[in-house]
């Protein structure tokens, strides 16, 4: 969330905040694409029944699923997946860089599972949308009539230009800025989505082997369902990224200064001076850097990756109190005191924007979270599957 001086609305893809010095208000989109698409040919009675069904579905899940024209991406969903062996490990902060929400360290036991060898690429996501007609969250205009009923009476309507479909796009600054003011480099961009990563005029042509970006949690879930897979849990993700070691990074313990050939991240001074020593100023083609000990690529850098788990700042302490936790699925509640109105899910792995001076997201234990209906040009995902 962007905390700026004065009073204004801040847009985070499908979440908007009205901020003052000591308060903020979440304005959230409820998707209606499914209703509009599938109700065209229904009679009035069917439409009334469908309205009640859609309302119940929205309240229960706040998630639209694609029409399931073709359930699986491949005849064998395990193609391009790796079997991750089971094991028990200490989950949580493993260096002095660890943030408070990476503690306390606690014992976790993970059963074997399958994981995509790399992030879902533009080519794979294109196959999904072609087969299903799925439209991502970032491609849908925001319906004010739907969201205003969820807000306090008297909330002013957002302007039409903000209600247009769009997403967040990173723009390098011209010099040093306050690193607590994210709006200095994140810009709400009308027309930005997975096919136009930098906004109107940009394209994924020539980037079909790059990870898909501008995907919200619902988009990642929809793809996984179609592919016969699921999103990994946070514990599975950390275990997979570790390669079965207690190393600080997925590539080992080589310091960041000697790791420009290990992952795609920001070298230089964030967010205004990128030395591009790794060869990429933005996303890189999947598998551009060496794999980790489990044979997984891009577990550090390139794009952040969605996990199943809700973000709950207290979840690690709760887990530790239970002893060794077997296959944890995360908290049953959203709990982030910094943004109490935002339902946030865990993202892992860091991106091409991560830097030692800012987030060090490429560390194995580093946790981040983002609103489930938000996307950006540094957020993607990969899938998992039960063994």
Q: Count other C-beta atoms under 10 Å from residue 275's C-beta.
A: 11
Buried residues in 293-302 as b, exposed as e (16+ CB within 10 A): ebebbbbbbb
Give the CA count within 13 Å in the CB-facing half-sphere of 289. Answer: 25
**E runs forming strands in 20-127:** 24-28, 81-84, 87-91, 106-110, 113-116
Predicted local distance difference test score (pLDDT) of residue 152: 60
**pTM value surpassing 0.85:** no
**What is the full per-residue pLDDT of the chain (387 aa) written as tens digits?**
333 222 233 333 333 333 333 333 333 333 333 322 233 334 443 433 433 333 333 333 333 333 333 334 455 777 799 999 999 999 999 999 999 999 999 999 999 999 999 999 999 999 999 999 999 999 999 778 756 654 567 878 888 877 899 999 999 999 999 999 989 999 999 999 999 999 999 999 999 999 999 999 999 999 999 999 999 999 999 999 999 999 999 999 999 999 999 999 999 999 999 999 999 999 999 999 999 999 999 999 999 999 999 999 999 999 999 999 999 999 999 999 998 888 999 999 999 999 998 889 999 999 999 999 889 999 999 999 999
DSSP percent split of the chain into helix, strand, coil, nearest 5: 20, 20, 60
Which among 180, 232, 220, 236 is positioned nearest to 372, based on CA atoms? 220
Predicted local distance difference test score (pLDDT) of residue 374: 87
For the record, the structure tokens of 315 come out as: 């979840």
């009640």: which residue's tokens?
A: 52
Predicted local distance difference test score (pLDDT) of residue 149: 55
Residues in the chain: 387
Cα distance between residue 134 and residue 146, in whole Å: 21
Fold of 12-386: 3.90.1580
Q: Nearest-5° angle of CA 114, CA 333, CA 4?
A: 105
Which among 12, 214, 354, 343 is positioned nearest to 1, based on CA atoms? 12
Cis amide bond preceding 222, omega within 30: no
**E runs forming strands in 222-336:** 268-269, 273-274, 304-310, 325-326
């699923």: which residue's tokens?
A: 65
Predicted local distance difference test score (pLDDT) of residue 296: 98
Give the domain ranges of the chain: 12-386
């Amino acid at each position: 969330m962007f905390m700026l001086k004065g009073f204004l609305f801040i847009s985070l893809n499908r979440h908007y905040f009205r901020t003052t010095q000591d308060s903020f208000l979440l304005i959230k989109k409820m998707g209606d694409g499914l209703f509009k698409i599938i109700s065209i040919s229904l009679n009035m009675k069917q439409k009334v029944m469908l309205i009640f069904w859609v309302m119940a579905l929205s309240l229960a899940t706040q998630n639209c699923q694609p029409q399931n024209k073709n359930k699986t991406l491949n005849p064998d969903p395990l193609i391009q997946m790796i079997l991750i062996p089971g094991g028990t490990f200490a989950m949580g902060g493993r260096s002095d860089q660890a943030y408070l929400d990476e503690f306390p360290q606690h014992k976790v036991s993970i059963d074997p599972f399958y994981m995509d060898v790399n992030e879902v690429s533009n080519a794979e996501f294109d196959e999904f949308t072609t087969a299903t007609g799925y439209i991502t969250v970032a491609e849908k205009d925001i319906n004010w009539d739907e969201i205003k009923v969820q807000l306090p009476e008297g909330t002013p309507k957002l302007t039409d230009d903000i209600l247009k479909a769009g997403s967040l796009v990173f723009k390098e600054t011209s010099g040093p800025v306050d690193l607590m003011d994210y709006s200095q480099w994140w810009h709400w961009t009308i027309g930005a989505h997975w096919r136009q990563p930098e906004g109107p005029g940009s394209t994924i042509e020539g980037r079909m082997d790059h990870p898909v970006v501008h995907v919200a949690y619902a988009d990642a879930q929809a793809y996984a369902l179609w592919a016969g897979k699921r999103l990994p849990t946070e514990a599975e993700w950390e275990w997979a990224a570790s390669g079965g070691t207690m190393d600080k990074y997925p590539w080992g313990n080589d310091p960041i200064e000697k790791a420009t050939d290990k992952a795609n991240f920001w070298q230089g001074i964030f967010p205004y001076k990128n030395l591009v020593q790794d060869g990429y100023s933005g996303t890189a083609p999947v598998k551009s850097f060496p794999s980790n000990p489990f044979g997984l690529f891009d577990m550090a850098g390139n794009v952040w990756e969605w996990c199943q788990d809700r973000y709950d700042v207290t979840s690690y302490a709760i887990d530790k109190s239970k002893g060794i936790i077997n296959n944890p699925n995360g908290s049953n509640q959203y709990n982030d005191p910094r943004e109490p109105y935002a339902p946030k899910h865990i993202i892992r792995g860091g991106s091409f924007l991560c830097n030692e001076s800012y987030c060090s997201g490429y560390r194995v234990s580093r946790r981040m979270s983002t609103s489930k209906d938000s996307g950006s040009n540094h957020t993607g995902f990969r899938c998992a599957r039960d063994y």
